[in-house]
């Protein structure tokens, strides 16, 4: 987006005279931050890939304040970067380095507006922390199934704006599929009350889907109606060592059919991930005595209290061992053991930083191509750089692999990270060649903007640009992200 496309150019550097004071007046004394130290975590992307600058962070506490802020920024042509928990991994929630944008934090818009257990819905404000949303559902004897590693600090508005996935997608879908309605403030300050609690509503375009996954480029989500589900009453969790990569996908397919589609989690972990997790994260142990190349964390669950899932899982695993798909495994005997297995899975992600630089790919392919993808990408990357260490893991039940690569042991970390674009190209070409996506979960932000431009079909980019222009003619909403 730029002036050549009919957009107003956002001023570099300073904000217009007097604007900061007018914005501060909208939110009152508790609603703004200008201190450089206090701003630092808000301008820094979690992995430090992007460090931006801003003179002002605003923390409105009502939708009306958000509306007045956007109206003023729109008329002043000042860019606004919405921010939730700032756990996003593509540089979408931090400002650019020129200091010409403000951050709009949703942190104080954090009320649970309504719990409706009979309608199986929850209406929440965008600043609610995901773990608090889960807890509110739990208190009403319901389940809100979105779950991911950052759930203690990410906020539901950020989850919606990135169409977050996580570990429950296989059964429940992405957050897009968990949303019935939204309240959104548009770039010019108009409030769209789309807090629909209906399961059926075919009255024209389903506008909420424009804002879900838009990464703050089309408006600010201020509240949402979320779908709830019956709480699982019976859960069985296991970690199994699997013969080879094709057997991982074969096992998933079998388990879905043979368990009555009770599979709610199916996470792939390569051996190197277990080595990293046990070496670097306190309290993490490998529950199996022997070492294997491929593992899956499997979870079955059902709301039926007498589902007898532990026996079902044991029986299915015994059959898979007999057929040679599974080589070894453990099944948790209680919830503490199940949690330890999930902690091991989460530790794979957090332990990689202790092995030096890592080049990451959050990609997806059709589930049936996952094994081919991991094999092809591993071969291509090891050919491209001697000693590079692929660490594939993730939600293979959704075809989503975090295909991360740790640096060769003796290589300089900066020199390795300088290879990021070359390695990206190799992996993304394979992904796209298999009909996959270069961003399965985390979005585009700044990190993948050029990759989107390269791989998206022109008609899609053109439609996205026209929608952006229609909703945000002055390009104030998170400028320079996604497009
Ligand atoms: C340890 C860890 C594990 C993760 N695991 C997963 C995972 O399993 N699955 C997954 O999908 N993601 C995962 N993520 C990344 C994921 O995108 C975020 O954790 C989360 O969804 C972002 O929420 P947030 O509140 O931190 O958003 P932020 O980082 O603050 O913002 C993300 C984007 O949304 C925009 N935005 C934020 N709030 C609003 C709003 N109210 N209105 C409009 N735009 C807004 C921002 O401008 C930005 O572009 C993980 C991240 C970490 C650090």
Nearest residue to 391 (alpha-carbon basis) of 355, 429, 342: 355
Nearest residue (by CA) to ligand 1, atom 15, is 88
Average pLDDT of the residues in 301-310: 87
pLDDT tens, position by position, 127-160: 999 999 999 999 999 999 999 989 999 999 999 9
Percentage of the chain with pLDDT > 90? 92
Q: Which region among 169-173, 248-252, 393-397, 443-447 has the lowest average model confidence (pLDDT)?
A: 393-397
Pocket of ligand 1 (CB under 6 A): 46, 81-89, 92-93, 106, 126, 148-150, 154-155, 157-159, 161-162, 164-166, 215-216, 220-221, 441-442, 445, 478, 481
When pLDDT is cut at 50, 70 and 90, the band that residue 7 belongs to is: very low
Percentage of the chain with pLDDT > 70? 97
Torsion 364-252-144-339 (CA) sign:
negative
Nearest residue (by CA) to ligand 1, atom 28, is 86
Distance 58 CA to ligand 1 centre (A): 19
Distance 165 CA to ligand 1 centre (A): 10
When pLDDT is cut at 50, 70 and 90, the band that residue 167 belongs to is: confident
Q: Is the pLDDT of residue 481 over 80?
A: yes
C-alpha span between 265 and 237 (Å, rounded): 9
Nearest residue (by CA) to ligand 1, atom 52, is 150
pLDDT tens, position by position, 361-376: 999 999 999 999 999 9
Distance 154 CA to ligand 1 centre (A): 6
Atom of ligand 1 nearest to the CA of 157: 41
| Residue 47: predicted pLDDT | 85
More confident: 64 or 9? 64
Length of the chain: 483
Q: Is the pLDDT of residue 5 over 70?
A: no
CA angle 159/161/166 to nearest 5° reads 35
Q: Spell out the SS3 assignment of the chain.
A: CCHHHCCCCCCCCCCCCCHHHHHHHHHCHHHEECCHHHHHHHHECCCCCCECCCCCEECCCCHHHHHHHHHHHHHHCCEEEEECCCCCCCCCCCCCCCCCEEEEECCCCCCEEEEECCCCEEEEECCCEHHHHHHHHHHCCEECCCCCCCCCCCEHHHHHHCCCCCCCHHHHCCHHHHEEEEEEEECCCCEEEECCCCCCCCCCCCCHHHHCCCCCCCEEEEEEEEECEECCCEEEEEEEEECCHHHHHHHHHHHHHHCCCCEEEEEEEEHHHHHHHHHHCCCCCCCCCCCCCEEEEEEEEECCCCCCHHHHHHHHHHHHHHCCCEEEEEECCCHHHHHHHHHHHHHHHHHHHHHCCEECCEEECCHHHHHHHHHHHHHHHHHHCCCCEEEEEECHHHCEEEEEEECCCCCCHHHHHCCHHHHHHHHHHHHHHCCCECCCCCCCCCCCHHHHHHHCCHHHHHHHHHHHHHHCCCCCECCCCCC
Q: Is the pLDDT of residue 6 over 50?
A: no
More confident: 226 or 305? 226
Q: Is the pLDDT of residue 2 over 50?
A: no
**What's the pTM value of the predicted model, to 2 decimals?**
0.93
Average pLDDT, the chain: 95
| Residue 153: predicted pLDDT | 98
Nearest residue (by CA) to ligand 1, atom 3, is 149
| Residue 49: predicted pLDDT | 87
| Residue 417: predicted pLDDT | 95
| Residue 13: predicted pLDDT | 57
CA angle 186/188/191 to nearest 5° reads 45
pLDDT tens, position by position, 313-346: 999 999 999 999 999 999 999 999 999 999 999 9
C-alpha span between 390 and 403 (Å, rounded): 7
Q: Is the pLDDT of residue 457 over 60?
A: yes
| Residue 82: predicted pLDDT | 98
| Residue 452: predicted pLDDT | 96
Distance 71 CA to ligand 1 centre (A): 25
Q: How many CA atoms lie within 13 A of 438 on its CB side?
A: 25
Q: Is the pLDDT of residue 306 over 80?
A: no
- Bridge partners, 105 (sequence order): 83
pLDDT tens, position by position, 80-95: 999 999 999 999 999 9
Q: Is the pLDDT of residue 281 over 50?
A: yes
Distance 311 CA to ligand 1 centre (A): 37
| Residue 8: predicted pLDDT | 41
C-alpha span between 48 and 420 (Å, rounded): 15
| Residue 271: predicted pLDDT | 97
Distance 85 CA to ligand 1 centre (A): 7
pLDDT tens, position by position, 10-34: 444 578 889 999 999 999 999 999 9
Distance 135 CA to ligand 1 centre (A): 19
């Amino acid at each position: 987006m730029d002036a050549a496309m009919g957009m107003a150019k956002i001023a570099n550097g300073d904000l217009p005279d007097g604007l900061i004071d007018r914005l501060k007046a909208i939110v009152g004394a508790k609603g703004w931050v200008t201190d450089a130290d206090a701003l630092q975590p808000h301008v820094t992307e979690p992995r430090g890939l992007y460090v931006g600058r801003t003179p002002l962070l605003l923390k409105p506490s009502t939708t009306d304040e958000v509306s007045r802020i956007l109206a003023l920024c729109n008329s002043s042509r000042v860019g606004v970067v919405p921010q939730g928990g700032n756990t996003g991994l593509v540089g979408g929630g931090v400002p650019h380095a020129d200091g010409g944008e403000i951050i709009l934090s949703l942190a104080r818009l954090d009320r649970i507006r309504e719990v409706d257990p009979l309608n199986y819905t929850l209406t929440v404000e965008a600043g609610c922390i995901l773990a608090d949303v889960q807890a509110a559902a739990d208190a009403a004897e319901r389940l809100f199934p979105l779950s991911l590693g950052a759930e203690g600090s990410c906020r539901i508005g950020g989850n919606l704006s990135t169409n977050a996935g996580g570990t429950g997608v296989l059964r429940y879908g992405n957050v897009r599929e968990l949303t019935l309605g939204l309240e959104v403030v548009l770039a010019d300050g108009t409030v769209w009350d789309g807090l629909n609690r209906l399961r059926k509503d075919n009255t024209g375009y389903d506008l909420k889907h424009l804002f879900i996954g838009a990464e703050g480029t089309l408006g600010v989500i201020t509240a949402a109606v979320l779908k709830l589900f019956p709480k699982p009453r019976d859960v069985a969790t296991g970690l199994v060592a699997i013969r080879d990569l094709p057997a991982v996908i074969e096992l998933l397919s079998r388990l879905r059919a043979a368990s009555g589609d009770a599979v709610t989690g199916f996470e792939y972990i390569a051996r190197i991930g277990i080595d990293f997790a046990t070496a670097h994260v306190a309290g993490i142990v490998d529950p199996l005595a022997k070492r294997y190349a491929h593992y899956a964390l499997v979870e079955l669950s059902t709301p039926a209290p007498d589902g007898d899932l532990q026996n079902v899982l044991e029986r299915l695993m015994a059959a898979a061992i007999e057929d040679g798909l599974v080589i070894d495994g453990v099944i948790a005997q209680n919830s503490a053991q199940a949690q330890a297995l999930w902690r091991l899975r989460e530790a794979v992600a957090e332990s990689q930083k202790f092995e030096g630089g890592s080049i990451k790919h959050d990609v997806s392919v059709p589930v049936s191509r996952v094994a081919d993808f991991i094999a092809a990408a591993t071969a291509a990357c090891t050919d491209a750089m001697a000693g590079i260490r692929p660490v594939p893991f993730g939600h293979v039940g959704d075809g989503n692999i975090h295909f991360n690569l740790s640096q060769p042991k003796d290589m300089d970390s900066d020199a390795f990270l300088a290879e990021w674009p070359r390695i990206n190209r190799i992996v993304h070409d394979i992904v796209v060649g298999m009909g996959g996506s270069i961003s399965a979960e985390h979005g585009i932000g700044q990190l993948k903007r050029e990759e989107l431009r390269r791989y998206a079909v022109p008609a899609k980019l053109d439609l996205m640009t026209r929608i952006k222009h229609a909703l945000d003619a002055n390009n104030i909403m998170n400028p320079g992200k996604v497009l």
